[in-house]
Amino acid sequence: MGSNKPYAAIHHLGGQTAPHEIRPRNKKVLAFYTQNGDSAYSRSVQHPGSKTPERPYLPINGSGRLQPGAEKWLLDIALKSLKKGL
């Protein structure tokens, strides 16, 4: 179990993203709704960055140690796989 997605690590370990500009990729403008429900359009917007809490989903933590309960989970997977092969 794992992921090759660039955002996987920040979801697993948590962290802070830097402020950055968001621009449209395939169109001339970004389209979105404001808080009061009106339509809005812009060539770009400034994202202030965001702090993401850790949401562990891998069996190891940032130090490479097993998460609580992961050893039993991994052993269960190994045993099920071995039984299928018998």
pLDDT of 75 reads: 87
Rounded distance between C-alpha atoms, residue 57 and residue 73, angstroms: 13
Long-range contacts of 31-40 (CB under 8 A, 24+ apart): none
pLDDT of residue 11: 87
Q: In Å, how far are 1, 59, 67, 84 from 80, measured between CA atoms?
A: 16, 17, 21, 6
What pLDDT was estimated at residue 18?
95
Cα gap 78→53, rounded to integer Å: 31
DSSP secondary structure letter of residue 69: T
Note down pLDDT in tens along the chain; length 86 residues.
578 888 888 988 899 999 999 999 999 999 999 999 999 999 999 999 999 998 887 787 777 888 788 888 888 888 999 998 86
